[in-house]
Amino acid sequence: MNNIWDRDEDIKPVTDQEIKAAELELGVSLPASYIELCKYQNGGYLIYDAFPTTEPNTWADDHVSAGGLYGINKDGILDTDYLLNEWDLPKNLVLITGDGHSWIALDYRHKNEDPPVIYLEEGNEMEWREIVLAASFEEYISKLYNHEDE
């Protein structure tokens, strides 16, 4: 699974202490497969750039952009609370990538562990449109691909 990173030697792996502190701060149990990836490289760009969807969205008719993954740090998932408030997003999400107009998040609104992965994009009248991408983070990672290769 570690081979999904566009390797950046300057990005250090996350430590067990940082993981525990982040889970405590966020009040969630992070998916084991996400932690495993961050223990190899704590965030950055991926070798993949897309996740397939069956619902057209503002990005494309058949996929969403998914070229990065936030790490377990202050410039990553620990900015979630700030970003949820700044962008008026639903609570109980952990943002794993995004740019302000669209986000991919772990959805903890109905589960405290192994949450589904959702895509949120700006809709009409400041409402967020939501698309469920995967039942788990592991499923999400397994379906990433390069859109140019299709």
CB atoms within 10 A of CB 69: 26
- Tens of pLDDT, residues 17-72: 999 999 999 999 999 999 999 999 999 999 999 999 999 888 899 999 999 999 99
CA-CA distances (angstroms) from residue 78 to 10, 31, 52, 71, 136? 20, 15, 27, 9, 20
- 2-149 has CATH 3.40.1580.10 classification: yes
* Cβ-Cβ contacts under 8 Å for 138 (sequence gap 6 or more): 31, 33
pLDDT of residue 77: 98
Work out the pLDDT band at 73, boundaries 50, 70, 90: very high
Distance between first and last Cα of the chain = 21
pLDDT of residue 2: 63
- Tens of pLDDT, residues 105-146: 999 999 888 999 999 998 776 689 999 999 999 999 999 999
- Element at 142 (helix H, strand E): helix 137-142
pLDDT of residue 127: 84
Q: 0.95 exceeded by the pTM?
A: no
* Cβ-Cβ contacts under 8 Å for 107 (sequence gap 6 or more): 92, 93, 115, 116, 117, 118, 132
| 148 pLDDT above the threshold of 90 | no
Which residues are bridge partners to 102 per DSSP? 121
Query: 46, 68 in Cβ contact below 8 A?
Result: yes
